[in-house]
Structure 1
Amino acid sequence: MSSAATPATATDAGQTQVAQAAAPAKIELPQSEGEVDVAKLMAPGPLPEMALGQADAKVTIVEYMSMTCPHCARFHNETFDAIKTKYVDSGQVRFVVREFPFDPRAAAAFMLARCAPEGQYFPMVSMLFKQQETWAAAPNGRDALLQMSKLAGFTQESFEACLTNQKLLDDVQATMQKGEKDFGVKATPTFFINGKKYSGEMSVDTMSALIDTML
């Protein structure tokens, strides 16, 4: 009897190991770095808000980002679309993007996204992030951005008009300064999820887990 019991025990142990391997790993939620007044965070800023999703969504995410930041590019290339499909398109999340350019090239990229035809801001940002290595590190950033912009329908004239718009540049810089001064943004990407602050890029699983705690 004892010899018959041994294989059964081994099988049970094997099944337990398989079950444990199949169980999803628990997502460790990042610690919030503090909280800001949501009403103040969502008050009108220097530029019209660039947002996706319903205004009355239960969760609002505000992302401060820089167009030349590789971490921001990775978030938008690998995480953003999945979050948009799962939460924004279903009406649960409103996603707001705000400019936080660390260098003149990032500011220029933001200006071009702002100058894109109505409804094309997010597609332009997405294209620039997907091609970030092509233009952000190019010897001649202006020429590289011109080629990218032509793909989005810009002409040489509209490209030049956008990049010489001093008010637009001032407003982009003011958005960054407001984020830094009023909400303590120092790095990109920085996310405010219902007012709670998180710095650094996030995976789909991590951001989903955070959102789920607020739904």
Structure 2
Amino acid sequence: MTKLLAATILSTVTATALFVAAPLTAKPATAAKPAVAALSWDKKLSRSPAGNHVIGNPAAKVRLVEFMSYTCPHCAHYAHDSKVPLLSGPVRQGKVAIEVRPFFRNIIDVSASLLALCGSDSKFLGNHHAIMEAQANWLKAPPEGAQQRWATEDFGAKMKAVAQDMGLYSLMTARGYTPAQLDQCLADRTLADKLANQTNQAMEGGVNGTPSFMINGKLQEAHEWKVLQPLLTAAIR
């Protein structure tokens, strides 16, 4: 992707209103209290200074930044391949924290990202993987008349039309969201502009495709899990 494309997406979004164990007692008559299970860091969600979701131990030795586009098939493959080994391994152990940064390639990414970020922080990881896992079902050619529906200058209406036409709206209602909740999230132009600016900044920093990754602030020459995994293992040591 070129800087020109990022600038175009940014311009479109902005200008056209887009596009914790109690101690054991020494008294023999008192039963020992069960130990508290160790914290599963893969269930911990927080926010980065920039506002992006972070999964895992915020103080982990390794910070993995994922630049992800919801319309990128390679991103869906990475999400599938890395989900179990990464989350149940080094992330759960508190060794790696993942920061997910949505990356816009097109107008559909804008709508999908707003839906992934919809609701409380606790919903993000489920939303993220649900959209990625169902990508083969919803990522298709837009239906007839889509371009006209997507041309409206009403940002919320535009994003809703994209979500409905691509099947993302029904995917999210199946996850328990009400239409009112989805409409509110899809109308968040301020967040869309912020993510568009973040995409542009990423491209200026050398990110020219998705998925792309940074390990402790350094952009990696890796775009799939089998290449990224040994790099993470080396960083953990």
Shorter-chain TM-score bucket reads 0.7 to 0.9
Task: Give 5+ residue unaligned stretches, structure 2.
Answer: 1-46, 144-161
Whole-Å separation in 2 of the counterparts to 1:43 and 1:94:
11
Residue 228 of structure 2: aligned partner? 207
Alignment of 1:26-175 (within 5 A): 44-45=49-50, 48-137=51-140, 139-140=142-143, 141-143=162-164, 144-175=167-198
The RMSD of aligned alpha carbons is 1.9
Whole-Å separation in 2 of the counterparts to 1:115 and 1:87:
27
The Cα shift of 1:179 comes to 1.3
8 Å Cα contact 1:105-1:136 kept in structure 2: no
The Cα shift of 1:162 comes to 1.5
The Cα shift of 1:73 comes to 0.4
Amino acid at match of 1:59: V
Whole-Å separation in 1 of the counterparts to 2:207 and 2:79:
19
Whole-Å separation in 2 of the counterparts to 1:212 and 1:137:
36
Amino acid at match of 2:225: S
8 Å Cα contact 1:60-1:96 kept in structure 2: yes
1:119-142 CA-to-partner distances (Å, cap 9, x unmatched) read: 111110100000002222153452
- Taking every aligned residue pair, what percent have the same amino acid on both sides? 27
Higher alpha-carbon deviation: 72-81 or 122-131: 72-81
Amino acid at match of 1:170: D
Whole-Å separation in 1 of the counterparts to 2:112 and 2:96:
26
Whole-Å separation in 1 of the counterparts to 2:88 and 2:72:
24
The Cα shift of 1:149 comes to 0.9
The Cα shift of 1:200 comes to 4.6
The Cα shift of 1:199 comes to 4.5
What TM-score, normalized by structure 2, do the two folds share? Answer: 0.66
Amino acid at match of 2:124: Y
Specify the SS of the correspondent of 2:117. helix
Is the radius of gyration larger for structure 1 or structure 2?
A: 1
The Cα shift of 1:202 comes to 2.2
Task: Give 5+ residue unaligned stretches, structure 1.
Answer: 1-41
Alignment of 1:182-197 (within 5 A): 183-197=205-219
8 Å Cα contact 1:74-1:201 kept in structure 2: no
The Cα shift of 1:178 comes to 1.9
1:127-182 CA-to-partner distances (Å, cap 9, x unmatched) read: 0000002222153452211101102222222222211221121112122112122x
Relative contact order, higher structure (CA 8 A, sep 6+): 1
